[in-house]
Structure 1
């Protein structure tokens, strides 16, 4: 069994392997900076500077939304491979009075986009200017801030301005992303300007500055989203994109709309689970799986190798169904959504799950091929009033389209790659999903799964994950670890995870040593038990990155008055992030 790297608590890593998936493993060993307990407010992000920026906002009397704006914009600067103002996001907001909203700031297809736009060269869908969809993050953040923010907009944007202007140190995780995208960075003038010196990538700890992006953010800080969506920055951005072969226009930016929706709501063990509606498949997906697993008995029925088998089988059912979803403004998803939220439907699916075996993809009834969405960054925030935000932000693949606008400093998304496209279908691969075909102004299907948990009218926790198509599984497993298996918050996030996406018919299990030195690996006895049931296993040197903030109010049945228990926040050490609170 591989051990942790030197000086990173090998005993703790071994302990994790022993306790994985065991009921009641709520103890942790040693003190970890990735978990904090606070009285008033807490912020958990992928990066310690962004968590601290969010904490400062809360300490000054800011709303959870204020902290989300500041933290998200910070992440776009210091984690530019995962998120930024050139992308989009889903935010789930629950106010202290119980009112809840799902804010859809997902990217949209340009007006000039079409179903067959990649027929001559499918590679253009994955990277480059033609893969860019209309970004929505700045518009979405500003809209929700206008309604709920307490601090000045400029105050929230300026920390990101200063980081871009004065520089930040390249983290080990960002450097890993840079190395994996090295050829693309070197080939793009905009990216190479800030991530290389004399043709060589910056190293871990080197200072990265982007004065052009700082100027863009400064303009947004002073004037709001106007310069980007209806002003000089937008004009320059469009000019750069079109010069490189893209089809995005100023009209696309001017027409972008943030959509505020009602969250998905499901029940599990007496808790209300709030999630994101379509075009996210996350909220309905998590609810469907929980409805299946609830029938097995909690926690015994979801523990050990058998419990993991049941989770995997439930995931396979989800992935068979989710490709029937799409942007509800373009596709009628009411029937499939109703099924995914139905306890009766989950009971029918449970009848097809056998504890002693698994099946080929055909058994689960999937008609369509999967899309492989990527990347992302997730943050969780609870403020002193117990307003809560769960937000997942993305530019899709590492460095999005691998295209940075030289005039604006904005790293653009490649969200068009999250659409399905017509194509030649082989005998062994299902056809692409028509519900997710490209249409002008349509939003592509997503796996992002921001989640908020409520019990007896009281906020219990905020959770979510980044990691593309694995997000639903990652969010689900952390949720089950804490709320069902009663692990402590740190152990719930630290426990090694497994994933399945139906096609290919393979269980991917964590087996890697992270950039910060922790080793994560599903134990050999668990793997052997899965293989005996017919699962094909494949080690995965990566996975999801999860954030979790829990509100320690117990199982009180008090209604009306907002209880103020302590907050425990965890940032996933897999990416090196740290939480902050006060």
Structure 2
């Protein structure tokens, strides 16, 4: 019998290739995930940065239980007075619509990325960190052709990438944004990654880069101080476990919101199926409406019952637990890896869109997570001090009764939960292969009542979807609006398979 394969799926071909290189060199899934994360700083610079944060859902081979590493950002310990803070709006241009983001040093929350990488490494990794950063360092120094998707993202957030001379030097040399096919190079980031691998996470706490972060914040109008960086800790959490049929689903627990809302949707749909109805587009839409309602109520309506009569106290309580945390939902990418032994890693990352200013000569921006429009259901710039922020990111691991394990996750702001819900249903209820599950048309229902959907639904399904909301929006083609779900699936006897979502130019590799 041939040795089972390893599999990786990610948001950029080079991110997947970096992880695959490490797998081929004897690394495990966690080594590969770390290498993929570091490459994402280079190849997916709009979404990921050493100045942001994220989550790892980890399952060691042979174990049923998973662990959640929370290294997401935290609000600063103290508000600086408004007249001292650099915090201002820019318009992101999506073509058909624009959206206001806030940037400046005052938009940055305390990053946890460096500490998260080393917490992952200490707990699970096999190879030295100096080896794991090599693919990213090589790409950053030699340069890489800018992909169509990343070039498009550059145009969307052009005001951020051109805000400072240091940012322009990397993303828009000579004042002109790099275009698809142009060589993108970031030698400052290469040096930072090499330095980080040698010195460890302390470099970003009170080492030279931590000192540079604090000094920049002090001098250019930020809230962050060395006390914020020193206080930060990676938090290990028990996942929110939920059953769907015979499968066990490990989800991101509070204070993040995505996992609880996915669990609620799965329960709603399972009850729908128990009543003898198939889980079709209309059922998915009604599940999204129900999830929006329980989210809006923050769990106060504990009388919401499924048809089988069960009180959804556990999920409603989980949703309630996410309601008071400051929210940061944008700018996300994801990496899924399962190695030949069955070790499983799902990592979701975010830097928001970046604050517009490069830290020293280190080749990266801090996040702009405090620039969300709805950080605390108030005006931008208002937030509770010293709090771990809530994210919609939901790296997910699914274990089926026959030993099949899956890792999946996505970017997509508040569409993360609905994208993962739909792909999970495609995999578990409709028994699709991973490519079909990812390619299948998606829908999303906003709290305002707008029902958006991609082409590919039948006429009857489209009619049913239009009846669900106050407004219907039929998209002409698959779109990044509906997320970018990257899936790895593995079975000891059948090997691995993966799918990177074409909506975000994702890729998958079997090693």
Q: TM-score, normalised by structure 1?
A: 0.76
Give the Å deviation of 1:507. Answer: 1.2
Matched, 1:93 2:71: no
Map of 2:425 onto structure 1: 480
Give the Å deviation of 1:301. Answer: 2.8
1:532 to 455, 467, 471: 467
Change (3 A) 1:505 1:404: farther
Matched, 1:439 2:394: no
1:109 to 69, 75, 80: 75
Change (3 A) 1:489 1:244: same
Change (3 A) 1:449 1:422: closer
Map of 1:330 onto structure 2: none
| 1:459-498 superposed matches below 5 A | 459-498=404-443
Matched, 1:384 2:337: no
C-alpha RMSD of the superposition: 3.4
Give the Å deviation of 1:449. Answer: 1.0
Change (3 A) 1:421 1:310: closer
Distance 1:383 1:421 in 2: 40
Cα deviations across residues 373-397 of structure 1 (Å, max 9, x unaligned)? 212001111011101011111012x
**3-state DSSP class of the match of 2:503?**
coil
1:402 to 340, 344, 356: 356
**3-state DSSP class of the match of 2:365?**
coil
Give the Å deviation of 1:405. Answer: 2.2
Give the Å deviation of 1:160. Answer: 1.4
1:550 to 462, 481, 489: 489
Give the Å deviation of 1:278. Answer: 1.2
**3-state DSSP class of the match of 1:198?**
helix
Distance 2:45 2:444 in 1: 26
Asked whether the equivalents of residues 85 and 106 of structure 2 are also in contact (C-alpha less than 8 Å), the reply is no
Asked whether the equivalents of residues 73 and 160 of structure 1 are also in contact (C-alpha less than 8 Å), the reply is yes
Distance 2:19 2:275 in 1: 35
Map of 1:578 onto structure 2: 507
Distance 1:245 1:568 in 2: 48
Map of 1:199 onto structure 2: 175
User: Gapped runs of 5+ residues in structure 1?
Assistant: 1-36, 326-334, 351-366, 425-431, 511-519, 553-562
| 1:60-75 superposed matches below 5 A | 60-75=25-40
**3-state DSSP class of the match of 1:71?**
helix
Map of 2:269 onto structure 1: 293
Distance 2:305 2:198 in 1: 46
Distance 2:473 2:324 in 1: 23
**3-state DSSP class of the match of 1:266?**
strand
Give the Å deviation of 1:578. Answer: 1.4
The answer to which of 374-383 and 187-196 deviates more is 187-196
Q: TM-score, normalised by structure 2?
A: 0.86
Distance 2:509 2:351 in 1: 25
2:375 to 420, 425, 428: 420
Change (3 A) 1:456 1:178: same
Distance 2:218 2:278 in 1: 51
User: Gapped runs of 5+ residues in structure 2?
Assistant: 91-100, 317-322
Distance 2:294 2:410 in 1: 17
Cα deviations across residues 284-308 of structure 1 (Å, max 9, x unaligned)? 1111111111111179734444323
Cα deviations across residues 391-447 of structure 1 (Å, max 9, x unaligned)? 111012xx32233324321121111235634648xxxxxxx9xxx973332111111
| 1:323-342 superposed matches below 5 A | none
Give the Å deviation of 1:107. Answer: 0.6
Give the Å deviation of 1:118. Answer: 11
**3-state DSSP class of the match of 1:246?**
coil
Change (3 A) 1:291 1:404: same
Matched, 1:569 2:498: yes
Map of 1:312 onto structure 2: 288
Asked whether the equivalents of residues 134 and 252 of structure 1 are also in contact (C-alpha less than 8 Å), the reply is yes
Distance 1:324 1:437 in 2: 24
Asked whether the equivalents of residues 103 and 368 of structure 2 are also in contact (C-alpha less than 8 Å), the reply is yes
Matched, 1:505 2:449: yes
The answer to which of 301-310 and 270-279 deviates more is 301-310
Cα deviations across residues 27-65 of structure 1 (Å, max 9, x unaligned)? xxxxxxxxxx99321110011111111112112221211
Distance 2:288 2:277 in 1: 13
Give the Å deviation of 1:545. Answer: 0.5
Map of 1:229 onto structure 2: 205
